[in-house]
Structure 1
Amino acid sequence: MDLDRALSISAAGMAAQSTRLRVVAENLANRDSTGQTPGADPYRRRTVTFTNNMDRALGAPTLRASRIGTEPGAFPERYEPQHPAADERGYVKTPNVNSLMEVMDMREAQRSYGANLSVIETTRGMLMRTIEALRG
């Protein structure tokens, strides 16, 4: 039945966005995490890569979080000579996490999650009305 497929596809989308929200929360929680020793690298921002996955049982493509990676690039530095992770110049490497970017990612994931939830609620309502009609 197509309604079952709609439920499964939306559930896959919700699972993918849940992963994205978890990674965003992790990034925000670690946005001030520096290295422990002088010159050590701090927390590196994590990213989620999504792929379109053909679900053969459903006969439909579904979204899934295929990989959690890290964002490449240099770390911003902050002059703080008294910090335990400061290098010989007095600079501390800080995480490459941008709070504004994380909040934007969070909102996008929230909207997508909500849209999939709406599909599930609508589909469930259609199924319930069908069952009621069959009962007569």
Structure 2
Amino acid sequence: MTRRTPTRTLRTLQREVDDLFDQFFGRTDGGDRDTSPAWSPSTDLVETDEDVRLHLDVPGMSADDISINLQNRTLTVSGERTSERTGEDENIVRVERAVGTFHRTFTLPDAVDADSTEATYDNGVLTIRVPKTEETTRRQIEIQ
């Protein structure tokens, strides 16, 4: 007689499904969870009459890990988040936080002031503010 444990069967099924997803999405490293497929930070894009603001979620990164480039109307944000593992004696049970490089590109409105672009980083959120030039600010025209 064989004793069956329902939770053990569910754990086995979960492991098999995880392995299938890992293979499908490009992680075929034999189970080494240090590497993962490319990731992309969640981003909010806000446009007002005065500027365009982007808010990117990049927790666990420093300003030195991130590069911001603005050329013509194309804003590119890229960087790399590394693993925080400390020792060889760790028994990794589950890894869900993405690590590796990311690259995001955004097309901005026609006339932005690239020289006045500002970037700040606070509590894991990178905020980039790109002011619009006078030509692009909306103006209310009175009818006479």
**TM-score relative to the length of structure 2:** 0.25
- Relative contact order: is structure 1 or structure 2 higher (C-alpha 8 Å, sep ≥ 6)? 1
Structure with bigger helix share is: 1
**TM-score relative to the length of structure 1:** 0.26
